Structures are given as C-alpha cells and as structure tokens.
Amino acid sequence: MNPIISKEPAIQERKLLAILLPIAIGLIAFALAFPGPAWTQDKPADNMQILREKIKADKKLLVAENMDLTESEAKDFWPLYEQYQQQLGVFNERIAKFIESYADAYRSNSMTDETAKKLIAEFVAIEKGESGVKAYWVPKLSQVLPPKKVARYLQIENKIRAAVKFQLAEAIPLVP
C-alpha cells in the first residue's frame, strides 16, 4: 500500500495537502466567478467539462489510494460513491451559482441588504443540504463497509471539501 494519508499526522497532512491543493485550485477555477481567464471564453462548455472530468478523476484516485478496500468492499462501495458524488455535484453547482451571484453584486458594486439576505438564505440552504446528503449516505455506506472505513471515507471527503472551501474563502473578498 502506498498511502497518501499516513499514520504519522505531520506526514499525513503534507501528503494530503499535496494532493488536495491541485484539486482545490481546479475547483476554484471552475467555481470562482470573478474575472476569468480569456481561454474560458473560447469554448467554455468544452473546457469546463474537461476540467470537471479531471477533477472527478483526481478525487476518485485520491479516495481509492486511501481507502484500502478489499475486492468485495470495492465492488459495493464504488457504485455508492458515484451516486453520492452525483448528489454532491448538485451542491457544487449551487455553490458555483452562489459565488457567481455574489461576484456579480460585488463587481457591479450593487450589494443591497435584499441581495445580502438572499445570499445568506442560499448559503444556509446549501450547508443544510450538504449535511442532509451526508446523513442520508452514512447508513448506506455502513451497509457495505466496516465503520472504520466509513469514517475514513467521510474524513477524506471532508478534508477535500474543507480544502476547497478554504481556498474559496481565501479568494473571495468580504461583503463591502
């Protein structure tokens, strides 16, 4: 086994960061709606689709390398993983739209109290929705994996999402 997440915390964090940072940067490029590079205007649908597929593949590889699944576990886990990722994808799209809405208001210097209220409501709805999806999938994952592996998978998923959210938070300016 060539674990990216080792048993030594310092090594574990450095290895995970080395993998997560490119994923986070890729997701930022996908989601961040502030002035984008000119190449995205050339063929936005094709470029964005390629980027999405690369991010999904990188993430799946990271999960695979760190789960240490048996053949039997893998056979049952990966279909659930794909379904879970589809549901998370809905929230990723909502986050991208949320950021785009904020960026539009920020760029046009038109952040009103009403706009802020709408953004707050959407932010809370996204957070609640993500939490609900996770709660829905834990029992399903627990049917095909031992508890320690379910916990490990959720930890990996959480670290990835936390790294992305950290990068987004660092890049997005505060409400004026």
| Alpha carbon separation from 18 to 8, 58, 90, 146 (Å, rounded) | 15, 12, 26, 28
Q: Which residues contact 33 (CB under 8 A, 6 or more apart)?
A: 96, 99, 100, 102, 103, 104
Q: Of 84, 90, 86, 95, nearest to 134 (Cα)?
A: 84
d(CA 71, CA 64): 12
In angstroms, the Cα distances linking 164 to 12, 79, 157 are: 18, 24, 11
- Helix intervals (H) in the chain: 9-31, 39-42, 44-67, 71-107, 113-144, 147-171
Location of structure tokens 């300016």: 173
| pLDDT tens track, the chain, 176 positions | 444 444 555 555 556 556 555 555 555 544 444 444 333 445 556 777 787 788 888 899 999 999 999 999 999 999 999 999 999 999 989 998 999 999 999 999 999 999 999 999 999 999 999 999 999 999 999 999 999 999 999 999 999 999 888 888 888 899 98
Q: C-alpha distances in angstroms, 8 versus 1, 3, 4, 139, 152?
A: 15, 11, 11, 29, 15
* Domain segments of the chain as ranges: 9-171
